[in-house]
Amino acid sequence: MKKDELRELVAGADAFMLMEVAAEKANEAKASGALTSPRLVFEYVAGGLVANENEELWVVLLNTKNIPIKKVMVSRGGLNFAAAHPREVFREAVKENAGAIILAHNHPSGDPTPSASDRKITRVLAQAGKLLGITLLDHLIVAGGTYISMKETRPADIGG
């Protein structure tokens, strides 16, 4: 066997092993209840947000392994606004000794595109979380049965 063929074989085996390990980790996360992807977060919070006629902001409190402790509604607004102050957002997280949080709110309009105020409050809450030692992992905007993850689409607003 030539060196190049051997390298290809080893590289292929390494890639296969990495895929196997990644699949195993994903299965472990799902079995553990850890929220390791925006899709899992959406599935966890969607029930209460998808059909709402008023905007609501929910906070998912997570332990250090990203397993939900609980979810808490911190604000209910009108058709297009739900006020959020860091004090309310982090109150339960501090009480429950959460290591991280994920924000989720709905847009009754059916359009999950983050507004300027969504982006601003996300930046403010990410900074507040840093001061408290509670990481803001993501902010999902749910609308019309779909969602946008600000971690994926606007990582700078999350602090990433």
pLDDT of 55-97, one tens digit each? 899 999 999 999 999 999 998 886 555 578 899 999 999 999 9
Same domain, 108 and 120: yes
Host domain of residue 25: 1-32
CATH number at residue 107: 3.40.140.10
Q: Are 151 and 128 in contact (CB under 8 A)?
A: no
Distances (CA, A) of 131 to 25, 61, 121, 136: 31, 17, 15, 11
Overall number of domains in the chain = 2
CA distance 73 to 145: 19
- H helices of 61-143, in order, are 86-95, 116-132
Q: Are 21 and 29 in contact (CB under 8 A)?
A: no
Same domain, 55 and 28: no
| Whole-prediction pTM | 0.77
